[in-house]
């Protein structure tokens, strides 16, 4: 298994990253209801928080973080993504979070340097 050979420190750990993301989302949005005026701020906060936390991990990775906040209005949403990378070292993590008034989707892609 080449994964273990490369070392635990230089692999993309999904659980770790998802924990980070969840904390970031909770911290930014919490139990607020959807407000058009504040949504922009929330997405910024989520993304920045995620990135800073990921950087603190200190791993040799390039990170890409996306955040989508959608109001619960009865509309449907469908997204898909696929990557072409080194499956052994690179990975992605998508976190779905929701409360009564909105959905929040955060995707983190980590590419080993």
Partner 1 sequence: MADRTDLKAELERKKQRLAQIREEKKRKEEERKKKESEVQQRAEKATEESDLDRKRKETEDFLQSVGISPEPPLVPTPMSPSSQSVSTPSEVGSQESVDGGTVTRMRRLGASKIVQIDFMPKELVTYSKETQTPIAPNLSEGFFSFPTEEEEDEELPVVKTKPQSDEQEEEDPQETNKDLPRELTEEEKQQIVHSEDFLMFFDRSIRVMERALAEDSDIFFDYSGRDMEEREGETQAGLNMSFNRQFYDEQWSKHRVVTCLDWSPQFSELLVASYNANEDAPHEPDGVVLVWNMKFKKTTPEYIFHCQSSVMSVGFAQFHPNLVVGGTYSGQIVLWDNRSHRRTPVQRTPLSAAAHTHPVYCVNVVGTQNANNLITVSTDGKMCSWSLDMLSQPQESMELIYNKSKVVAVTGMAFPAGDVNNFVVGSEEGTVYTASRHGSKAGIGEMFEGHQGPVTGISCHNAMGPIDFSHLFTTSSFDWTVKLWSTKHNKPLYSFEDNADYVYDVMWSPVHPALFATVDGMGHLDLWNLNNDTEVPTASVTVEGSCALNRVRWASGGREVAAGDSEGHVWIYDVGEQLAVPHSEDWSRLARVLMEIRANTDGEQEGAIEVTG
Residues within the interface to partner 1 (CB under 8 A): 70, 73-88, 90-92, 94, 96, 103, 105, 107
Nearest Cα neighbor of 58 from 9, 4, 92 is 9
Instruction: Report in angstroms how near the CB of residue 62 gets to partner 1 at its nearest.
Output: 14
Instruction: Report in angstroms how near the CB of residue 21 gets to partner 1 at its nearest.
Output: 14
Instruction: Report in angstroms how near the CB of residue 98 gets to partner 1 at its nearest.
Output: 9
Reduced to 3 states, what is the DSSP secondary structure of residue 112? strand
- Closest CB to partner 1 among 56 and 80? 80
CA dihedral 92, 97, 102, 103 (to 10 degrees): 30
- Closest CB to partner 1 among 42 and 109? 109
- Give the C-alpha separation, 53 to 106, whole Å: 14
Contact (CB, 8 A) for 103 and 70: yes
Instruction: Report in angstroms how near the CB of residue 92 gets to partner 1 at its nearest.
Output: 6
- Closest CB to partner 1 among 23 and 98? 98
Contact (CB, 8 A) for 21 and 95: yes
């Amino acid at each position: 298994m080449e994964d273990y050979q490369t070392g635990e420190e230089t692999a993309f750990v999904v659980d770790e990253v998802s924990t980070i993301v969840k904390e970031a989302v909770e911290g930014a949005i919490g139990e607020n209801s959807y407000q058009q005026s504040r949504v922009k701020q929330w997405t910024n906060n989520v993304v920045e928080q995620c990135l800073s936390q990921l950087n603190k991990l200190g791993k040799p990775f390039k990170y890409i973080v996306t955040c989508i906040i959608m109001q619960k209005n009865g509309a449907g949403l469908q997204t898909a993504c696929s990557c072409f990378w080194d499956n052994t070292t690179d990975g992605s993590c998508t976190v779905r979070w929701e409360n009564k008034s909105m959905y929040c989707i955060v995707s983190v892609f980590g590419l080993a340097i």
